[in-house]
């Protein structure tokens, strides 16, 4: 029995290219994949080579971006809302430098910097 030509007007796909026609399964694949403009790179089981990773990458980047945004906002709030300590104690002639207050104020500045960096990273992940 000679191979029948498919009735699809688009005329492309693996069944048409090889000149073979295999009944209902081939007809459904031709109708749903070939004629609707689906990618010819798909496997026989219906899964795409890049399509399986796209939702996973999207979910991971969204959750990581949200986590970075929350941590960045917390660090930025802690660095900005906590009042700094006085570093110098005393009068003009006798000034004592409080080393712990200097370290404390440096940590607050670092918190603000890390918070801004985390918020920027969250923004980039959100854009991706």
Task: Answer for the pair 13, 37: CB distance below 8 angstroms, yes or no.
Answer: no
| Radius of gyration (C-alpha) of the chain in whole angstroms | 32
Residue 30: predicted pLDDT? 62
Quote the CA–CA distance of 124 and 128 in Å, as a whole number: 6
Residue 15: predicted pLDDT? 47
Residue 26: predicted pLDDT? 62
Residue 7: predicted pLDDT? 52
Q: What is the residue whose two structure tokens read 């498919």?
A: 6
Residue 49: predicted pLDDT? 57
Q: What is the mean pLDDT of each run of 10 residues along the chain (128 residues)?
A: 52 53 60 54 52 83 94 95 85 80 93 96 90
pTM: 0.55
């Amino acid at each position: 029995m000679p191979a029948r030509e498919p009735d699809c007007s688009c005329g492309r796909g693996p069944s048409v290219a090889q000149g073979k026609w295999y009944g209902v399964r081939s007809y459904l694949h031709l109708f749903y994949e070939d004629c609707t403009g689906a990618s010819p790179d798909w496997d026989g089981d219906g899964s795409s080579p890049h399509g399986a990773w796209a939702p996973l990458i999207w979910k991971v980047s969204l959750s990581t971006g949200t986590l970075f945004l929350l941590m960045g906002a917390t660090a930025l709030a802690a660095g900005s809302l906590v009042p700094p300590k006085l570093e110098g104690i005393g009068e003009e002639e006798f000034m004592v430098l409080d080393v712990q207050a200097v370290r404390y104020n440096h940590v607050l500045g670092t918190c603000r910097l890390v918070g801004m960096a985390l918020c920027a990273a969250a923004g980039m992940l959100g854009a991706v």
